[in-house]
């Protein structure tokens, strides 16, 4: 059975460009409930741990540099079929390939600076949510 929670980050590019409000509005309008949320900045160590799965990829250094250069909005979201539905809402990793109307199509600038993160599995949604939030910060 599909889980009902996912984890997201509004990445530094979208925060810098003033898109927090518009992105949260679209997330709300798409039926997700906010379970946890905060403005925070990841340290190099945080980003290396969070994206450890990509550590052998050529873009890893660039990814860590980008994700730590300014604040992000971290949030846990709830909805039926949350992981899959949120990935549909944000669109493809590369905004050039993202469907019309998706968050990345509207707000991402490149494959590296792509405005939002969305968990890729129920298991990772739990790990990533717990990485950023304690139990008493999750409602």
Figure out which of the listed residues 44, 45, 59, 65 binds ligand ATP, where binding follows CB under 6 A: 59
Residues that bind ligand ATP (rule: CB under 6 A) add up to a total of: 11
What is the chain's Cα-based Rg? 14
Contact status: 118 vs ligand ATP (CB under 6 A):
yes
Q: Is 117 in the active site?
A: yes
Q: Which does 59 bind (CB under 5 to 8 A by kind): ligand ATP, Mg ion, none?
A: ligand ATP
Q: Is 117 in the site for ligand ATP (CB under 6 A)?
A: yes
Choose between 46 and 120: whose C-beta lies nearer to Mg ion.
120
Write the binding mask 70 to 109 for ligand ATP: x where contact by CB under 6 A, - elsewhere.
Answer: -----------------------x----------------
- Return the HEC string of the chain: CCCCEEEEEECHHHHHCCCHHHHHHHHHHCCCEEEEEEEECCCHHHHHHHCHHHCCCCCHHHHHHHHCCCCEEEEEEECCCHHHHHHHHHCCCCHHHCCCCCHHHHHCCCCCCCCEEECCCHHHHHHHHHHHCCHHHCC
Q: Is 114 in the site for ligand ATP (CB under 6 A)?
A: yes
Residues annotated as part of the active site = 117
């Amino acid at each position: 059975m599909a889980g009902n929670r996912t984890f997201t980050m509004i990445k530094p590019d979208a925060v810098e460009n003033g898109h927090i409000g518009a992105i949260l509005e679209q997330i709300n309008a798409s039926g997700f409930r906010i379970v946890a949320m905060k403005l925070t900045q990841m340290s190099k160590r945080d980003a290396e741990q969070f994206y450890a799965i990509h550590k052998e990829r050529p873009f890893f250094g660039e990814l860590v540099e980008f994700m730590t250069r300014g604040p992000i909005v971290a949030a846990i979201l709830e909805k039926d079929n949350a992981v899959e539905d949120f990935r549909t809402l944000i669109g493809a990793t590369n905004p050039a390939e993202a469907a019309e109307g998706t968050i990345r199509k509207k707000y991402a600038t490149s494959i590296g600076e792509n405005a939002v993160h969305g968990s890729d599995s129920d298991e990772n949604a739990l790990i990533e949510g717990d990485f950023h939030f304690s139990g008493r910060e999750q409602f």
